[in-house]
Structure 1
Amino acid sequence: MRYLYTLAMYLVTPFIVLRLLARGMRYRGYHLRWRERFGFFRAPAAPGGIWVHAVSVGEVNAAEPLLKALRVDYPNAPLVVTTVTPTGSERVRQLFGEEVFHVYLPYDLPFAVARFLARIRPRLAIIVETEIWPNLYFACRNRGIPLMIVNARLSERSLRGYAPLRGVVRSALRCVRLIAAQSRADAARYRLLGAETERIVVSGNLKFDMPLPDGATDRGQQLRAQWGRLRPVWIAASTHEGEELAVLEAHLEVLRRLPDALLLIAPRHPERFRPVEHAVRSLGFSVATRSAQQVPGAAHQVFVIDSMGELMPFYAAADLAFVGGSLVPIGGHNVLEPAALARPVLVGPHTFNFEEITQTLIAEGGAERIGAADALGGAVQRLLRDPARRGRMGAQARKVFDSERGAVRRVMGLIDGLLQE
């Protein structure tokens, strides 16, 4: 099965490269540093460091508190961080600058993986969330590099997706020394996938330990002062193609009852910035963008956040948050960011990427799920007109966030044990 998997990787690599080139037509970051994806890059100054892989923005944000803890506890150990997407790369640079060595993870081809590991020569490999690459895992085992998966999550959908590769995935998971799962449900799915029970622990979700950006709340208040403290404001964050139009239609419904309402919309991917702005203008909204006007004025009805890494101040400035990727079958995005700022959360029907957290927030009264896109406008309107309910939901959301903290401490204990071995 492993040989068949590797043959398939070689066969599909030309198509992967073509997809990379196509995405680069909309976002130039995909055209840059492409040699790194085949293991060609200048090696870090010192080998023997700790390598952390976080595929994109969400995983980098989840790993932030862990990376900061590693820098404190192991100040002399070089820290290598890999991502797959340019937006993930940009987020690493925003958070850490030159304090960590960043490179793209190579494709799961034996020669590329071998070249990558020969250059960074880590003493510990840490994979964040769900990235199972068999050739990479086998190569770590063969080189004696301890490998662990932290903040491990595995949805029912992902479990089914791995079914055709169940044999090779099971063998790859046997190369992993420890799996620190987010929840008991995630741990159970990893066992079904073939991971050994004695190597799985439940450590909680690192995202509960994320630090609030310095001054996010104050910056949010400053933004509100600029566009009116009493003005109804809602944010649609991390939206995808297929749900942005639904968000704009919901805002039209909101404006019929609350004519001074403001929508903040933050597309998930940079290549969506321009199409979303065009869609807003085509529907007749008065629009401002982060790149052009910086902040909206009193006359603007929609503000497009066409920048990366700035969501938290805008969450703080909004009365409620709709978290995208949930009206379309993407699986939803991080509901903890608005919860950390005591903001009521709305989600759509598709939240399998964050199912347990989302269900907890809903059960505790900090979030509400809408069944379909056409229900979004009504849900937003009801919350904007009910400040007492918003206050209760926000307080419950923050209570859930606070009650689940501590995963970083538990994961650091596991890392300490592996490094001492």
Structure 2
Amino acid sequence: MRFLYTLVVYLVTPLFLLRLFARGVRFRDYRKRWRERFGFFTPPGFSGSLWVHAVSVGEVNAAEPLIKALQRDYPNAPMVVTTVTPTGSERVRQLFGDSVFHVYLPYDLPFAVRRFLRLVRPRLAVIVETEIWLNLYFACRKRGIPLMIVNARLSERSLRGYKPMGKLVARALGCVRQIAAQSRTDAARYRVLGASAEKIVVTGNLKFDMPVPYDAELKGEELRRQWGPLRPVWIAGSTHEGEELPVLEAHLEVLKRWPDALLLIAPRHPERFKLVENSARSLGFTVGTRSGDRVPSAVHKVFVIDAMGELMPFYAASDLAFVGGSLVPIGGHNVLEPAALSTPVLVGPHTFNFEEITLTLIQEGGAVRVHTAEELAPVVSQLLRDQPMCEHMGAAARIVFDSERGAVQRVMGMIDALLQE
């Protein structure tokens, strides 16, 4: 089975490269550093590193408080952070600069994995969320590298996807020393996948421990002063294809009730920035952009946040926030960012990536679910009309966020124990 898996990885690698090239037509960073995908990079010249893998932006953001805790508690250990996407790479650069060594994680080809491990020489491997790469896991066990999965989550869809390779995945999970699960549901699914129960600990979600920028609320207040403190403003964050048009159409309906209303929209992927701007203009909106105008003016009806890592002040400045990836079956994105800033949350029907957090927010009154794109405009209008309800939802969301913190401390205890061994 492992031989067949490896053979398939070799056979599909040309397709991976074609996909990189195709995405690179619109977003050229995908064409860069392709040698790293095969484990070729300049050796950093250290050993005994602490290695954290976070596939993309969301996982990097989740890992931020853990990486900073590792840097604080193990200041003499080199820190390695790998990602898979250019946007994840850029986020690592923004958050950590030169304080970490960053490369792309290579494809799960035996020779590439061996070269990568030989060059970074980790004393600990930490995988964030759900990245089960079979050859990588077996290689870590062979080299005696303790392997952890932290902030571990496993959706029902992912569980079904792994099941055809059930025995092989179970063997790979046997290489893992500890699994720090986000929730009891995630822990149960890992057990179904073949992980032994004694290795699994429910530690909570690292994203509750994310640092809230100390100046986010101050910047939000400044933004509101610039566009008018009484102006109705809502934000659609981390949107995907299939969501931007319904969001823009919903804003057309909102403008019928509030002609001065402002929509802030932040596409998830940089290659969609210009597409969303053009779509908004084609619908007749006066459009501003972060790159061109810096902040919205009174004439702008739609403002495209075409920059990475700048959502928090805009969440703080908004009356309510729709979190994208949830109107389409992506699984939703981080509902905790607006919750941390006491901003009411709206989500669509597809939130399996943040299943328990979203349900808790809804149950505690900090979030509302819309089941179709057609429901978005009336729900946004209702909340903008009811300021006391918005304030109540925002306060409830912040209480949920504050009450769930502490996962980093629990995970660090597990890491300390492994390293002391």
Residue-by-residue CA offset, 1:243-285 (whole Å, 9 max, x unaligned): 1000000000100001110000000000100110110000000
Residue-by-residue CA offset, 1:198-232 (whole Å, 9 max, x unaligned): 11000110000000113111001101110000000
- In structure 1, C-alpha distance between the alignment counterparts of 2:361 and 2:136, rounded to whole Å: 36
- In structure 1, C-alpha distance between the alignment counterparts of 2:262 and 2:165, rounded to whole Å: 47
User: Equivalent residue of 1:148, what SS?
Assistant: strand
Q: Which residue in 2 is equivalent to 1:37?
A: 37
| Structure 1 segments (4+ residues) deviating >4 Å | none
User: Equivalent residue of 1:97, what SS?
Assistant: helix
- In structure 2, C-alpha distance between the alignment counterparts of 1:363 and 1:137, rounded to whole Å: 38
Q: Which residue in 1 is equivalent to 2:170?
A: 170
Amino acid at match of 2:96: F
- In structure 2, C-alpha distance between the alignment counterparts of 1:121 and 1:93, rounded to whole Å: 21
User: Equivalent residue of 1:410, what SS?
Assistant: helix
Q: Which residue in 2 is equivalent to 1:102?
A: 102
Give RMSD over aligned pairs.
0.5
Q: Which residue in 1 is equivalent to 2:323?
A: 323
Gaps of 5+ in 1: none
User: Equivalent residue of 2:88, what SS?
Assistant: helix
Amino acid at match of 1:322: F
- In structure 2, C-alpha distance between the alignment counterparts of 1:127 and 1:391, rounded to whole Å: 38
Residue-by-residue CA offset, 1:122-176 (whole Å, 9 max, x unaligned): 0000000000000000000000000000000001111011112212111110000
- In structure 2, C-alpha distance between the alignment counterparts of 1:382 and 1:172, rounded to whole Å: 50
Q: Which residue in 2 is equivalent to 1:119?
A: 119
Matches within 5 A, 1:363-382: 363-382=363-382
Residue-by-residue CA offset, 1:371-395 (whole Å, 9 max, x unaligned): 1001001111111111000000000
Residue identity (%): 76
Q: Which residue in 1 is equivalent to 2:132?
A: 132
Residue-by-residue CA offset, 1:33-72 (whole Å, 9 max, x unaligned): 1100000001223111100000000000000000010011
- In structure 1, C-alpha distance between the alignment counterparts of 2:311 and 2:69, rounded to whole Å: 23
- In structure 1, C-alpha distance between the alignment counterparts of 2:161 and 2:377, rounded to whole Å: 34
- In structure 2, C-alpha distance between the alignment counterparts of 1:18 and 1:104, rounded to whole Å: 17
Gaps of 5+ in 2: none
- In structure 2, C-alpha distance between the alignment counterparts of 1:397 and 1:353, rounded to whole Å: 18
Q: Which residue in 2 is equivalent to 1:63?
A: 63
- In structure 2, C-alpha distance between the alignment counterparts of 1:225 and 1:154, rounded to whole Å: 42
Alignment size in residue pairs: 421
Q: Which residue in 1 is equivalent to 2:392?
A: 392
Q: Which residue in 1 is equivalent to 2:10?
A: 10
Q: Which residue in 2 is equivalent to 1:277?
A: 277
Matches within 5 A, 1:3-402: 3-402=3-402
Q: TM-score, normalised by structure 1?
A: 1.00
- In structure 2, C-alpha distance between the alignment counterparts of 1:264 and 1:167, rounded to whole Å: 47
- In structure 2, C-alpha distance between the alignment counterparts of 1:164 and 1:279, rounded to whole Å: 41
- In structure 2, C-alpha distance between the alignment counterparts of 1:41 and 1:159, rounded to whole Å: 34
